[in-house]
Amino acid sequence: MTASLDNAAQDAKRPPYLGYAMAAMGATLFATKGILIKLAYAQGIDAETTLALRMILALPFYLVIGLHAFAGMRASGAPLPDARLWLRMIGVGLIGYWTSSYLDFKGLEYISAHFERLILFTYPLFVVLLGAAFFHQRIKPKALLAFAVSYAGLALMFAQNFSAFGSGIMTGALYVLAAAVTFALYQLLAKPLIMTIGPQFFTCVAMGSAGVAVILQFLFTHPVEAIFVTPSLWGLGLALAFGATVLPSFFLSAALKQISAQANATIGMLSPVVTIILAMAVLGDAVTGADWFGAALVILGIGWFTLSERKA
């Protein structure tokens, strides 16, 4: 008995290397999303078709997980969601996983994958602004400072890319900026629902409702036969659905069981850096010193704000 207690104490003192590894893997897999979308676009399909492929292939995973979570709720005697709660979950899912995702995919038709990732990376600052505007939350001075630093970095990258890619970069940047704003709104609206119903079941309902909306959007804008793409595009769709959506979400959830949220947030800052490296290696993107400096400013602003908030 004493030996087992000693072993448990030694395990508790060990650094949670597995947790760090899973957090890093989750951040890395999330970073591949823009790369995979760009590879799909290079084969001639558009944002609506790429998003439809992602959702068609991701929905079965979330359906199975959602049914398992619902069965667990019934078995435990937990209160089941009423009609109003169902409608709220569906509506919030449409904001976060349909509207925001579509805007993000559209933006990637115009701008580079690493620029897109850095714009999206600023969404925590919009959580603060929208929280103050609509949810009576106080804005702290450090949030405004983080905004100034991060957007100075984005402005530098914008100026650098504008000279190379022209006015189309403005359209793409606005699409992705709108995606960041809507995802921030999703975060604010989702939090009370997650506290009520639990993260697993809520995510499955939100993703399921968005998946249906994405497929309907595709059917309204494209002929049905447009979904019969090449095997390589289905492969990219599967990688996007499972490798860049479902799998990293589980890695990050598992990591949070072993490491602190602060450590997870710190490791999450790998994501835009990994995107830049993959964009250079896989897509052949040219990344200048100004791009790296701008990226550093974005990561510095968001990283400092996120970590200081978690310490508060």
pLDDT per residue rounded down to tens, the chain (312 residues): 444 444 444 444 445 678 788 888 888 898 899 999 999 999 999 999 999 999 999 999 989 999 998 898 888 888 889 999 999 999 999 999 999 999 999 999 999 898 998 898 888 888 888 888 888 778 777 778 888 888 888 888 888 777 666 678 889 999 999 999 999 899 889 888 888 888 888 888 998 999 999 999 999 999 999 999 999 999 999 999 999 988 887 786 677 667 765 566 667 778 888 888 899 999 988 888 888 998 898 888 888 777 776 555
Residue-level pLDDT at 93: 93
Residue-level pLDDT at 262: 58
Cα separation of the two ends of the chain: 40
In this prediction the pTM is 0.85
State the amino acid at position 229 in one-letter form: V
Distances (CA, A) of 252 to 22, 88, 255, 257, 260: 7, 25, 5, 9, 11
CB-based contact 259:252 (threshold 8 Å): no
CB-based contact 124:184 (threshold 8 Å): yes
Residue 67's H or E segment, with its range, is: helix 47-76
Region for residue 78 given its phi and psi (left: phi exceeds 0; alpha: psi -120 to 50; beta: otherwise): beta
State the amino acid at position 32 in one-letter form: T
Distances (CA, A) of 287 to 63, 108, 116: 40, 17, 14
Q: Which residue has the tokens 């602004």?
A: 129
CB-based contact 306:128 (threshold 8 Å): no
Distances (CA, A) of 229 to 215, 225, 283: 15, 8, 21
